[in-house]
A = this chain, B = another copy of it.
Amino acid sequence: MFVHSTHYRVCYADTDQMQYMYYGNYARLYEIGRVEAMRYLGFSYRDFEENGILMPVMDLQSKYLAPARYDELLSIRTTVLELPAARIKFKYEVFNEKEELLNEAFTTLVFVNAATNRPMRAPADFVAALAPHFA
């Protein structure tokens, strides 16, 4: 299991008139969470794309437990639950400054060869970097 945390400040653009962070804007948090988790491991999704590897999202499940509010500095805890093969599944937990769990979510992303538009296996060096966390 690999876990990584990053931060996100809720901006006005994220809020809605209920004074909540709009439910659709959490997808941005999950994106930031997984990209920063990958960066921490030494991998950039930008490099993946430049090398012809796309990672579209296949599915998303999200539970909104309590609202995120304007200007809160959220913690996004991203977990890779198992070693990726053709797919990678991330878990996300979003906490506010009081360490209350606001949101819990899962996404599955698939590795796609941009040249052929066909599924492919996760890059070997990426799997190798994750492997020690699953030993």
Contact = CB atoms under 8 A, between A and B. Distances in A.
Interface of A: 9, 11-13, 15-20, 22-28, 31-32, 35, 44-46, 49, 54, 56-64, 67, 70-71
B62 A60 contact: yes
- Main secondary structure, interface of A, reads mixed
Nearest to A25: B24
**What is the count of identical protomers in the complex?**
4
Contacts of A25: 24, 27
A54 B18 contact: yes
Among A13, A28, A54, A67, find the residue whose CB has the most chain B CB atoms closer than 10 A.
A13
A28 B22 CA distance: 10
A55 to B, nearest CB: 9
Contacts of A64: 56-60
Contacts of A61: 59-62
Contacts of A67: 56
A81 to B, nearest CB: 17
B60 A31 contact: no
A57 B32 CA distance: 22
